[in-house]
Chain A
């Protein structure tokens, strides 16, 4: 390896910054540079390599906390504990991680590698929070191929951001010379090094490839000259040349391993029919270019840049080979219980039958682990005929589409396939399939609320008799259908029965829906403590298994929003409900969406934002009009509309007859806070009785009967804003 002191220096001077951004495309040696800097600096290091599966705050920070804990046993323990406990706010867990880092007391570096794979807004928001709360002795280094959506400009402006970018990471002439002449031992003069540098634009991966290749050529001068004059894409040119120069055996191995993506020596042995993969891999790893070992022990992958060319080349030379490699890999991985990896290979091989069978066998585990997106991804690769032959696949896809959310059309398509499967292959429709079919029909509520309740009872009955695996989910579907039907008693009892199931928490989707439904009912009845506990549990359950940006996440957010509204935190309620609405809104009208819009209309009315409330109500009404048999929604539409009309009338009359006095305005301003009447008196040096009489006068003048309505009305009339602005 070439030593690159200037990069180490750049990273070192970044020590004063909160965040160091190392941003460059693949093959720029980001990881190598940071590792080299660290080896010379020392101190504690927690290194986390992220992948697309980490797009969920709880999962993301669990990895970070685990890495921090590895630095010294116990540093991440409290954070990990928080992350496992229900109802935690992610900020609390981050605080604990920061406490752990601060407790360490010496220089501490947290590295997040491959951050470009994290795109979830919640994750990035939590990272922004962490950046702002990093202890003084700690620094955060982010390695990424694309600039993350963090407030970089703000950090830059405050001098809190250090950057190492592609132009810094590109090789200089001196570094290229060291690599090619001193390390690789190539007999090149200055102008020749210049040609190579210019042709590769200093791209480290390409220069390393060039060094490997030039070591194998007979006529060095000519090779350099030809390379310099060629217009082909530099990585393609070099991959081609380097492959040509490898021994036949190594080449055959590499081309095939590249097809595998991530692999172990054992997998290579099984798939490639050899027994020396481990030795071949360690040779290749020494070349430092083709094969990288991953942090997951024993797993390797071919450098992404090179894998692309290797795969394409193999497909050109031996067109059928990639398919049979995928096929053998699928079989081997399945025998090791690595289902997700196995299905990926089966799908790549186009083995619909195998994909369908694996999905059939493992769909329950995938659903419970929040892998609905994975189920859909594989189910989509299957032709209708294959889905119909595997009713469990059709049903799993229906459940997955429901849980992901806003996929009503796709959910109905798979439901249709399930029905055709039942008609065509009744013998494949056992008790389990019958039960799940009833469950998805009740949860989806496509045929109206009455039908959903009927199917829900049927699902529960079947589940209780013989299909325990779907009992919690069936009760969840039933509880929700009953809630929409307006039968709160029965809904409460169904959801409660689900929670009594000893295995309930280990079946997160159904469990979360039950908790959320209980929260909604408790909030409707003003049982705020109970409601809050259920809503928090729903959210924590969802957080553990899947992204909050899903139907399931929306169900939890709706519950939290309803509880906040009942508690009087209208701004918080609106935020949660608006968030939920985004992941339920679809191009088809649904009961879920209509109900959320009504909740939003109600909260916006109470905040005095009458126009926006009217807009939400209009959209809700449109959806309800499209839906037949929508249970309690039509009367709800009417009552929300009535309340809104009243509010509008008041607002227009409302030029109120008598304005609050200065003293009353001072009290009104404090009514918008969390202070009690007694505390308000304390702040204003008034007796509790005086405060109470002011409050009565305020209510009378504003024509309201509660504190929150008074605040909402005052906001709508800009009474608070005027009072606050002079300060």
Chain B
């Protein structure tokens, strides 16, 4: 079961200040017209909750990456 750590979430389009306000702990960057949210996620429950919020806001999720997940075999 994946636990907490730093995650990178990519959603379609530019999220402005107001949406940033909804995810205050995430750093927001833009790339190719899409938005990257990078920041700490406590556990799977918080991550699931964030994904749910995206869906409620009608945001399309493009990718989720656990940044400090150890690589297999290392």
Contact = CB atoms under 8 A, between A and B. Distances in A.
Interface of A: 25-27, 145-146, 203, 205-206, 230-237, 239-240, 304-305, 308-309, 312-313, 315-316
B22 A312 contact: yes
Interface string B14-41: 1111110110000000100101000000
A26 B13 contact: no
Given A231-B13, A233-B16, A236-B16, A25 B55 contact: yes
A233 B21 CA distance: 14
Interface string B36-74: 000000000000000000011111000000000000000
Given A231-B13, A232-B13, A233-B13, A26 B56 contact: yes
B22 to A, nearest CB: 6
Given A233-B15, A236-B19, A305 B58 contact: yes
Contacts of B13: 231-234
A315 to B, nearest CB: 7
Contact of A312 (B14, B21, B30, B35): B21
Given A25-B58, A231-B14, A304-B56, 7 more contacts: A25-B55, A25-B56, A145-B55, A232-B15, A235-B58, A236-B16, A312-B19
Contact of B18 (A145, A146, A236): A236
Q: Main secondary structure on chain A at its contact with chain B?
A: helix
A240 B18 contact: yes
B57 to A, nearest CB: 6
Contacts of B15: 232-233, 236
Contacts of A205: 58
B1 to A, nearest CB: 14
The 7 closest A-B pairs by CB, nearest first: A312-B21, A231-B14, A312-B18, A233-B13, A232-B14, A236-B16, A233-B15
A240 B4 CA distance: 34
Nearest to B15: A233
Contacts of A237: 16
Contact of A309 (B18, B56, B59): B18
Contacts of B33: 231
A305 B21 contact: no
B18 A26 contact: no
Contacts of B18: 236, 239-240, 308-309, 312-313, 316
Q: Which of B15, B17, B18, B59 has the most CB of A within 10 A?
A: B18
23 contacts: A25-B58, A26-B55, A26-B58, A145-B56, A206-B58, A230-B14, A231-B13, A231-B14, A232-B13, A233-B19, A233-B35, A233-B59, A236-B15, A236-B19, A239-B18, A240-B18, A305-B56, A305-B58, A308-B18, A308-B56, A312-B19, A315-B21, A316-B18
Contacts of B55: 25-26, 145-146
Interface residues of B, number: 17
A230 B15 CA distance: 11
Given A26-B56, A206-B58, A308 B16 contact: no
Contacts of B22: 308, 312
Interface of B: 13-19, 21-22, 30, 33, 35, 55-59
Given A25-B58, A305-B57, A312-B22, A233 B14 contact: yes
> In this complex, which of A239, A308, A315 has the most chain B Cβ atoms within 10 angstroms of its Cβ?
A308
A706 to B, nearest CB: 42
Contacts of A25: 55-56, 58
Nearest to B30: A231
Contacts of A203: 58
Contacts of A145: 55-56
Contacts of B21: 312, 315-316
A592 to B, nearest CB: 24
Nearest to A28: B58
Of listed B16, B17, B19, B30, residue having the most chain A CB within 10 A: B16
A377 to B, nearest CB: 13
A469 B36 CA distance: 55
Contacts of A308: 18-19, 22, 56-57
B21 to A, nearest CB: 4
A202 to B, nearest CB: 12
A296 B8 CA distance: 40
Nearest to A203: B58
A267 to B, nearest CB: 23
Interface centre among A206, A233, A312, A316, by most B CB within 10 Å? A233
A305 B22 CA distance: 12
Contact of A232 (B16, B57, B58, B59): B16
A144 to B, nearest CB: 11
Residue in B21, B56, B58, B59 whose Cβ sees the most chain A Cβ within 10 Å = B58
Contacts of A206: 58
A444 B25 CA distance: 38
A714 to B, nearest CB: 39
